[in-house]
Amino acid sequence: MAFNHYAKLKRIVENLQQGWFIRRIDKPTVAKNFRGEKVTFTHYYRLYDCHGREIKYGKFQQIERLAKSLSIPVEELPVVE
């Protein structure tokens, strides 16, 4: 069974009782896909708790995949600038 980071993020978000939000970080990042290939992104996202603290394992690149995992539209995700 392959590791699914977005399923882990879903579990983390579901366990946050006081809230959370997402910030877009405009710095390049590299991630490996399931085939072991490196994919470069121009930006990434990070999850924060309601107090503004980074959530462990909360870095991700594809906001659409997080929205799909949470079963909500991308527009409803709490992204702050």
Instruction: State the pLDDT at residue 3.
Output: 59
- What are the E-state strand segments in the chain? 20-25, 29-32, 38-41, 44-49, 54-60, 79-80
Is-contact 43 26, C-beta < 8 A?
yes
Instruction: State the pLDDT at residue 38.
Output: 93
**Which residue ranges make up each domain of the chain?**
5-80
Q: How far apart are CA 47 and CA 32, in angstroms?
A: 20
* Tens place of pLDDT per residue across the chain (81 aa): 345 889 999 999 999 878 999 999 999 999 888 788 999 999 999 999 999 999 999 999 999 999 999 999 999 999 998
